[in-house]
Amino acid sequence: MFKGLDILLIGIAVVMAVLILLWTACAVVGMVFRAVEARQQASKAKDAEPPPAPAPGREPATGVPPHHLAAIAAAAAAVLDRPHRIVRVSAPPLAATDWGNQARLQTFNKNLRQGDWGRTISAHTGANT
């Protein structure tokens, strides 16, 4: 009745076996990386001393508001899960090009209402429709 059913089932079994082998290999590599990282953190924890507390009442010299620094420190603490000290906070410089400025100018000068895709006809043209 089903002539190619045995070949089909063998093919599915081979594909599933290869997928299981790939998954196992990835899991083993992940375990190795986690073990190495745990050893490194354990050795750093033995050698490291806690970071010194910042001086009370000291204002940052960069002009970054204190509540922004608190948010950055909280984000770093949530991600790193180990003692840390933020040394510097700075924004990367953005080089403005004439090409980008011209594109922005054209975009902002379009007479489009929100949601429109085409040109709009001004009410001042006096067009009778």
Mean pLDDT of 115-122: 56
Q: Provide long-range contacts, Cβ within 8 A and 24+ apart, for 79-88.
A: 82/41, 82/45, 83/48, 83/50, 83/51, 84/51, 85/51, 85/52, 88/62
With 90 as the cut, is the pLDDT of residue 11 above it? yes
The gap from C-alpha 101 to its chain's centroid, in whole angstroms, comes to 26
Q: For residue 9, is it left (φ>0), alpha (ψ between -120 and 50) or beta?
A: alpha
Residues found in the chain: 129
Measured between its terminal Cα atoms, the distance across the chain in Å is: 71
pTM, rounded to two decimals: 0.34
pLDDT tens-digit readout, 27-83: 999 999 999 999 988 888 777 666 666 666 555 455 677 888 889 888 888 888 788
Q: Which residue has the higher pLDDT, 117 or 78?
A: 78
Transcribe 18-45 into DSSP letters. HHHHHHHHHHHHHHHHHHHHHHHHHHHH
Q: CA gyration radius for the chain? A: 31
With 80 as the cut, is the pLDDT of residue 9 above it? yes
Mean pLDDT of 112-116: 58
With 70 as the cut, is the pLDDT of residue 128 above it? no
pLDDT the model gives residue 111 = 64
What does the domain layout of the chain look like in residue ranges?
A: 1-49
Average pLDDT, the chain: 78
pLDDT the model gives residue 120 = 52
Q: How confident is the model at residue 87 (pLDDT cuts 50, 70, 90)?
A: confident
